[in-house]
Amino acid sequence: MNDLVATIIAKYNYWIYITLMMAGLYAMIAKNNLVKKIVGMNIFQTAIILFYVSIGVKKGATIPILEHAHGHGHDAHQAVHATDYINPLPHVLMLTAIVVGVATLGVALALAIRIYNTYHTLEEDEILAQIREE
């Protein structure tokens, strides 16, 4: 029991991100309004980004920019220890994911604008009713 509680507390970041992801996923599936679905999609993607970034954290380490490095050119003498700096790779991957999320958001909003111009509503059930009448 103590073990379980210790595990839960040691990994609390994962529980938070999973909850956020599922909130976004629920919004995408269950909401009726197109823009609310788009917002849910954004929440889902952002939660995944946070999840990745939290992988790279190391206790007691600083940001991944080498200190006292510029000015030495490429014969820097000080030894660099990997434990002093957090893992840079998840940050790099998530820069890409953020950009992809923004691009998808832009395309989704453009589609929503076109749909609004055609059907004059953003509620999905009203749009489907209009389609069925045609």
Partner 1 sequence: MKIIGFIISIATGSLLIYAAADFPAWSDPASPASTYLSPHFIEKTIEETSVPNIVTAVLADYRGFDTMFETTVIFSAGVVCYLLLRTSRRKEPETRYYRHILTGVTIELKEGYKIPPSTDFERIDSLWTPPDLIIRTVCRLLIPFIQLFALYVIAHGHHSPGGGFQGGVILGASIILFAISFDLRAAISRMSEKLVAVLCAVGVLIYACTGGLCLLFGRNFLDYGALAELLGVDAVTARSHGILIVEIGVGIAVMATMIWVYNNVSSAGKYEQGL
Partner 2 sequence: MSQQYPALLVIVPLLSALAVAVAGWVNRKWCFPLAAAALAVAAWSSVGLLFRVLHEGVVIYQLGGWPPPVGIAYYVDHLNGLVLPLVSIVALLNIMASKKSVEQEFPDKICAFYTLYLLMVTGLLGIVVTGDAFNLYVLLEIAALTGYGLLAIGEKRSQLATLHYLYMGTIGACFYLLGVGYLYIVTGSLNMVDIAEILPDLYHSKAVIASFIICMVGVWLKMAFFPLHAWLPNAYTYAPSASSSLIAPLVTKVMVYVMIRLILTVFTPKFAFAAIVLSDAVVWLAVIAVVMGAILALAERDLKKMSAYIIVTEVGYMVGGAWLGNRIGMTGAILHIVNDALMTLCIFLVVGNIVYKVKGYAFDDLPGLFRKMPFTMGAFVIGAMSIIGVPPTCGFFSKWYLIAGAISAGRYDFMAALLFSSLISVVLFFRVFEISYYEPFGDSHGHDDRSGGIDEAPVTMVVPLLMVAAILILLGLYTDYIVNHIVQFAIPEALV
- Measured distance CA(37)–CA(27) in Å, rounded: 6
Among 1, 5, 82, 131, binds partner 1 (CB under 8 A): 82
Number of residues that bind partner 1 (CB under 8 A): 63
Among 10, 131, 132, 134, binds partner 1 (CB under 8 A): 10
Interface with partner 1, residue 74, by CB under 8 A: yes
Under rule CB under 8 A, residue 35 binds partner 1: no
Q: Which of 35, 92, 128, 129 binds partner 1 (CB under 8 A)?
A: 92
Question: Which among 41, 50, 42 has a CA at the least distance from the CA of 17?
Answer: 50
Helices 12-30 and 2-10 meet at what angle, rounded to 10?
A: 70
Backbone angles phi, psi at 87, to 5 degrees: -65, 120
Q: How many Cβ atoms from other residues are within 10 Å of residue 103's Cβ?
A: 10
Of the candidates 47, 11, 50, the residue with the CA atom closest to the CA atom of residue 28? 47
Nearest to partner 1 of 57, 129 (CB atom): 57
Residues that bind partner 2 (CB under 8 A): 21, 25, 28, 34, 37, 41, 44-45, 48, 51-52, 55, 89-90, 93, 96-97, 100, 103-104, 107-108, 111-112, 114-115, 118-119, 127, 131
